[in-house]
Amino acid sequence: MTQALEGIRVIDFTHDQAGPSCTQMLAWLGADVIKIENPKGGDRARRLWNSDNPDLDSFFFLLLNSNKRSTVIDLKSADGKEIARRLIKEADVVAENLGPGVMDRLGLGWDAVKELNPRAVFASVKGFGSYGPYSGFKCFEPVAQATSGAMSVTGEAGGTPLVNGANIGDSGTGMHLAMAILAALVQRGRPGKGQPVGVAMQEAVLNLTRVKFTGTLATGEPLRRSGNRSPTGGYSDLIRCAPSKPEGGGVDDYIYIIVPPDNPEMFHAAMDVIGRPELKEDERFKTPAARAKNGAALTEVLESWTVSRNKHDVMTAFAGRGMVCGAVLDTAEVLKDPHLRERGTIVDLDHPTRGRFSTIISPLRLSDSPVTPKRAPLFGEHSEEVLRSLAGYTAEEIAALRQKGVVTQG
C-alpha cells in the first residue's frame, strides 16, 4: 500500500525542533525527507537534553527525526553548495529554519531555489516572520509563548505567568508549516510552480491561543489567569486521588474534571457516582453559576470520594457515566498507556546505539496511508547513498569529497 506523500522529496535544512517536527510529519506521511547536517556535529538536537550518555544521539533528537535520511555536507564550501544545488533540483520541498538571512547568505534562499527548481516549495520557520519590527530577532519556544499572549493566560490566579509544558511554539509551528506545505503542493498541481511559504512562531502560538481573546474583544480587558478553573463558567478543577503507585508519591495523582455550564447532566452523574444524589438540589451547586462560585466546596465533596481511589479507577467511573474527565498521566505512564499502545501511537523501535526504546509517532490517521515507524538516522548515515542516487556523483567523486571534508559518512 502506498503512502499519501510517496514520491514527494524534501531537502531538509532544519534543526532543533520547530523545523524537524514539520519535516517529520511529512516523513510519517511517506515523503522522502533528506536531512542536511553540518560536519561539526550536525543538528544540535543530537546533543540537547542528553544527560544519560553524551556520546550517543539524544532521545530529544530521536523523537523528532524518525523516518528521515541524514546527509552531512559542508555548506560553507563551494563543493558543498554545489551538492546542495543538485539536491534542490530534485526536490519537491526545501525546508529551513535557520537564522534570518542564513539561507540567502549561503546562496540557497528562495531566489536561488526558484531558479534551480521552479516547482519547489520553499518552506521557512522564523521566530517573528520575514518582515516587521521583530523580524531580525531570534525566538525560542518560551519567547513565542510570551509574545503571543499564551503565557499571560497560563498559571494560577494571581500568580506569575507560566510556560506551557507542551511545545506549542516549536512543534505547534511545525504543524502549521506542514499544512502550508501541503496546501502549496496541491496548488502547484494547477499552475505547475512552487512558492515560498512560511510560519512565524509567534503567530502560530497566537493562532493556538486565539479563543482566549474572546473576553478581551467583548470588554477590552485582558483575560486573567485562572489556574485549573475554566474562565468560561461552570465548574472545572483538579481532584486529588489516592496514590496510584505502590511507592506512593502523589504529585500527579489527580483527575481533571469539567462540568460545562450547558451540560448539567454531568453534575448529576458525578453526584450519582460518588453516592451523593441529594446534592443535586443543594443550592450551592444547583446551577452553573452556583457551581462556579462554590467550586472549592464542590472540589471538597468530590475529593471525599476520590482520595480513597486511584486516578485510573476514578477516570473509568466518571467517564463511564458520560463525564468529561481525564487522569493526569506523567510521562512514564504515558509511554506505557494501554490505550496509546493499542492505537500504535507509542511503539518500540530498535536503534544501533540506543538499543530498544519507546517513541511517539504520527497522530494522523489515514486509512490508505498507514505510518510505518522507522528510527531516526545516525549522523551522516545516508550521505553516500543520497549523493550517488540523487545528486549524480560517482563513487570516485564522493571519495574525493570525503577526503576534502565536504561530505561525512556516518
Residues annotated as catalytic are 170
3-state secondary structure of 68: strand
Residue 109's SS3 state is coil
Backbone angles phi, psi at 136, to 5 degrees: -90, 0
Contact between 35 and 12 (Cβ < 8 Å): yes
Tell me the CA distances in angstroms from 309 to 108, 304, 316, 334, one per residue in order: 60, 10, 11, 20
Phi and psi (nearest 5°) for 334?
-60, -40
Q: What's phi and psi for 94, nearest 5 deg?
A: -115, 120
Query: What are the φ and ψ backbone dihedral angles of 166, each rounded to 5 degrees?
Result: -75, 145
Q: Residue 357 forms beta bridges with which residues?
A: 349
| 332: its cell numbers | 512514564
The conformation of residue 372, written as its DSSP 8-state character, comes to -
As a whole number of angstroms, the distance between CA 95 and CA 102 comes to 13
